[in-house]
Amino acid sequence: MRRAGITIRGIGASLLAAAGCATPLEAPSAYAGERFLCGPEQAAEFRVLSAGCREAYLSDRSCEGFASLKGESDGQPFVVDAPLFGSFYQYNETGPTTGLTVNATGLSPYFAFRLQLYGLTREATEAGIVCRTAEARLFGIEVRGSSDQQAMALLTCDFERPEDGVYVSFSAKLARGGPLEACMYLTAK
């Protein structure tokens, strides 16, 4: 008899515990604290954060730039503002065409990311400034260890090169996702 009472209590406790699991767990997204800093209203804040990275780079090489991204990948929206821990750029100015190659690596709350823009060119034409790229990719490294590389169709782009680094902004359509907008500052190498 005693054994049956324990079993019934045990089953009852298990059912109550299982019922508690049926209630969805609600937790704020880690992206809630992230900001998109590429708009005109945020330009001054983006420049201040970029200048802070530049100072850290000159002091101890701890920050190689700053990036802000927003977009949608595999149906999941994201917003990221993050210092870059790896960056590389190659800038070529030849006549009316200016060329730029960019590789920037940073961390978001859920994944590491690498943005690659190869053969980015800005050319003055009769129709105005035209910006193109030979190849653009967003390479995301998931926290779980898997990796994902997506091609991007570049929609708009712009870049400028002051004395202390390079600023890049662009909008794109991810091959397996939605839109992506980004701006980056990469320190001089």
Min mean pLDDT across 18-32, 101-115, 144-158 is at: 18-32
The type of residue at 26 is E
Summarised one tens digit per residue, pLDDT across range 40-79 is: 999 999 999 999 999 999 999 999 999 999 988 777 788 8
Global pTM reads 0.74
In contact, 107 and 31? CB cutoff 8 Å: no
143: confidence class by pLDDT, cuts 50, 70, 90: very low
Q: For residue range 93-137, list pLDDT tens digits in order.
A: 776 667 788 889 998 877 788 888 887 877 767 766 677 776 777
Over residues 68-91, mean pLDDT = 86
In order, the DSSP letters of 122-163 are EEEETTEEEEE-SEEEEEEEETTS-EEEEEEEEEEEEEE--T
The answer to whether 168 touches 157, Cβ cutoff 8 Å, is yes
What's the rounded mean pLDDT across residues 147-172? 83
In the three-class reduction of DSSP (H, G, I as helix; E, B as strand; rest coil), residue 58 is classed as helix
